[in-house]
Amino acid sequence: MNEQAKQFKFVGTRPIRPDGVDKVTGRAMYGADLTLPGMLEGKVVRSPHAHARIKSIDTSKAEALNGVKSVVTAADMPEAESKPVAAGEAMINFRDLAENVIARHKVFYEGQTVAAVAATSNEIAERAAALIEVEYEVLPHVIDVLDAMKDDAPVLHDHIFTGGVTPKPEKPSNVANRVEFALGDIDAGFAAADIVIERKFTTEPVHQAYIEPHAVVADMGPDGKADVWCSSQGHFMVRSFCAGLLKIEMSKIKVSAAEIGGGFGGKTTVYLEPLAIMLSRKAGRPVRMVMSREEIFRASGPTSGAAMTIKIGATKDGRITAGDATLCLQAGAFPGSPVGPAAMTAFAPYDLENVRVVGFDVVSNRPKVVAYRAPGAPISEYAVESVVDELASELGLDPIEFRAKNGAKEGTQAAYGVKFGTIGMQETLEAAKATEHYKIPLGPNQGRGVATGFWFNIGGESCAGIRINEDGSVSLTEGSPDIGGSRASMAIMAAEVLGIDVAKIKPSVVDTDATGYHFVTGGSRVTFATGMAVVDASKAAIDELRARAAKIWDVDVDGVVWEDGHAKPASTNVGDFEPMSLAEIAAIANKTGGPISGHADINAKGAGPGFGTHICDVEVDPDTGFVTVLRYTAVQDVGRAIHPSYVEGQLQGGAAQGIGWALNEAYMYDEDGKLENAGFLDYRVPVASDLPMIDTILVEIPNPTHPFGVRGVGEVPIIPPLAAVNNAVAAATGVRFTALPLSPPAILAGTGAGD
């Protein structure tokens, strides 16, 4: 049965989120908020070098310090085997994950963990960490992606030979992988073009910069069972990574999801958790570990920086004939940049006959990148959307009309393989064009930029349980950490299906012992996939409620229907019975067979692709090069907004992060390969006074495979801002910039005003 055609009672409303009061009163418990009796504090010893061989580690002085209860080095950890595992949307090698958690023979970036200690106080743990003596043989390092690809670059890993090329190379290389997606014949496409524009772009690595630091409390008893409490985007991910790294059975590790203070992809892997378990195992006491902000910048995240070449051809009347892209993405110290999704999404907003995208996954002496909201897509689409905009202006066409003319629609074959079903690319363009914003006249030194964005969205494993309590209230269990209001949308969907008030439903994110495996909260999948599980579980509970009513009325279950929260006879043929409410059936459940519940364990398929179009107005100060964002509108096809406020919030938050990426944020290294700006003072994320209001328009083109039409919404909004800002700056200054961030010195250098 498809629910899409119905009128909704709760879907699309804006109730107060179930976890809200806890979060405005300080009661909500995040990763670092748990204290257990006898708990120790753990600290990490990190590499001061960008690239070095570890010659020896002497922990004796630290161990002798009063108050130190355990010390861990790689020697304490089992050797990990080489095998691919999913980390968010990317694939990584398990052995690399182990090395990233704690270095064994070499360190590959400044900040990599080499040892960990647990002591009775933070202060003692810090002193102990300083007493651990590590002898290094410093090796030459390489930071920049293009430098790392050179033949004479220092090679990080002797076992990496570029994958995806034949024949297999003879020499190891920092280029871990080559990917290619192609469609049609680009040479013929460029030959048919009246105008061809080719540009080289660079972007810098940027950090997810969630405000909550990574934090964990682990407690392993003498029976070898571990309880872990941490904030992550997937406590099942934490369980499976810890079990694999420490060679412990999964059933012996219970992970509870603390409230999570932001992740944006950055909490889809483990850093501290396996160390905390090991420290606890050795000490026989619970251990808490919390990263400092400096550690977060040096050793977790960020996403890739990139060097790219984009070439696009078009006819005079505005039809794109071919697109060609080469994308080189930094992976950090180990392979696994999001170059795959970057390549797949690069031209996906467009209906093109001739496309080629080649991508390279490149390691260098930086922290291993991890997912950041639509991993890879903001990078490649920034470059493509900047050239698309330049083409439109060279051809004298309105940038929205040019995009609409070439935009993907139902039936478009994307170069990465899929044929699009029902999508909303054209509708977001139309809605953007119709805004007041698009018509507001601009003043001197002001410019307007437009850009679109595409993200696949994903499904994956999710589970849900609906328990009908004796009083007719409902307990809803699932296992997707709630990063921005997902409990609210789960409750709304369950209420809609069950036909009872949303306030009657209490959703909980339960631990790994209490529900089945869930893929991480990532890929914009939770409201879609976990939502589907909730709908299925609610329907299963309804089937049971109907069966109970049938029993009470002594009729066949097919003779009972469920409407508005009541069991009713399907027709007068069944008999003349008063409808029974959910609460009435629940009250006598003990007489009809016992507790009533419904469960669903699914692997959701059919995530609907998401498209968005953003409009950005800027003013560029010609003297200082400072860019002010004056107005901003984000339009997106969201399928169906279950709780529109939190959907708008996703659009606004993603836009703000994208603006930060475009204007301020970047990792900066000194010549020794050390990060120079590992703090919020020097790595500047947008603050309230940097931004205008961010207007949102929710376009609803329902995803046909979801019962309510949901599409993922969390990732698309970070994609368009990079090019929207860049294109606005081009309109304001007359200069096409090809490097991010657009910092004042970069602007002045580009406009020549700084000379």
Among 192, 645, 735, 736, interactor with other proteins by CB under 8 A: 645
- 43 or 356: CB nearest ligand FES: 43
- 258 or 310: CB nearest other proteins: 258
Among 137, 394, 687, 704, interactor with other proteins by CB under 8 A: 687
- 466 or 492: CB nearest other proteins: 492
Using rule CB under 8 A, residue 126 touches other proteins: no
* Residue 742, CA distances (Å) to 388, 407, 451, 755 in order: 19, 28, 17, 17
For residue 483, the partner it binds in ligand FES, other proteins, none, with Cβ less than 5 to 8 A by kind, is other proteins
Among 5, 24, 211, 693, interactor with ligand FES by CB under 6 A: 211
Residue 31: count of CB within 10 angstroms of its CB: 26
Nearest to 225 by CA among 515, 512, 517, 29: 512
| Contact in structure between 89 and 372 (CB atoms under 8 Å) | no
Residue 251: count of CB within 10 angstroms of its CB: 11
CB of 719 to other proteins, least distance (A): 15
Chain residues 258-287 in contact with ligand FES, contact rule CB under 6 A: 262
- Pull the structure tokens for residue 586: 């629940």
C-alpha–C-alpha distance, residues 92 and 8, integer Å: 42
- 263 or 318: CB nearest ligand FES: 263
What angle separates helix 377-394 from helix 644-663, to the nearest 10 degrees? 80
For residue 645, the partner it binds in other proteins, ligand FES, none, with Cβ less than 5 to 8 A by kind, is other proteins
For residue 289, the partner it binds in ligand FES, other proteins, none, with Cβ less than 5 to 8 A by kind, is none
CB of 28 to other proteins, least distance (A): 6
Among 1, 7, 26, 563, interactor with other proteins by CB under 8 A: 26
Residue 390: count of CB within 10 angstroms of its CB: 19
Q: For residue 130, give the H/E element and its range.
A: helix 122-131
| Contact in structure between 327 and 359 (CB atoms under 8 Å) | yes
For residue 123, the partner it binds in other proteins, ligand FES, none, with Cβ less than 5 to 8 A by kind, is other proteins
| Contact in structure between 69 and 119 (CB atoms under 8 Å) | yes
Among 2, 6, 29, 624, interactor with other proteins by CB under 8 A: 29
- Pull the structure tokens for residue 558: 């097919």
DSSP assigned state of 715: S
C-alpha–C-alpha distance, residues 398 and 438, integer Å: 11
Among 190, 646, 667, 669, interactor with other proteins by CB under 8 A: 646
Among 210, 360, 455, 667, interactor with other proteins by CB under 8 A: 210
DSSP annotation string for 145-207: HHHHHSTTSPPS-TT---BT-SSPPSS--SEEEEEEEEES-HHHHHHT-SEEEEEEEEE----
CB of 155 to other proteins, least distance (A): 36
| Contact in structure between 697 and 635 (CB atoms under 8 Å) | yes
Asked if omega into 302 is within 30° of 0 (cis), the reply is yes
CB of 52 to other proteins, least distance (A): 28
C-alpha–C-alpha distance, residues 260 and 479, integer Å: 13
Strand pairing partners for 616? 449, 632
Chain residues 230-269 in contact with other proteins, contact rule CB under 8 A: 259-264
For residue 626, the partner it binds in other proteins, ligand FES, none, with Cβ less than 5 to 8 A by kind, is none
- 184 or 262: CB nearest ligand FES: 262
Q: For residue 497, give the H/E element and its range.
A: helix 486-498
* Contact track, other proteins, 33-52, x by CB under 8 A: x-x-----------------
Chain residues 80-119 in contact with other proteins, contact rule CB under 8 A: none
Residues that bind ligand FES (CB under 6 A): 211, 262
Residues that bind other proteins (CB under 8 A): 14, 16-17, 19-21, 23-30, 32-33, 35, 122-123, 208-213, 259-264, 290, 292-293, 483-485, 643, 645-646, 648-650, 652-657, 679-681, 685-691, 693-694
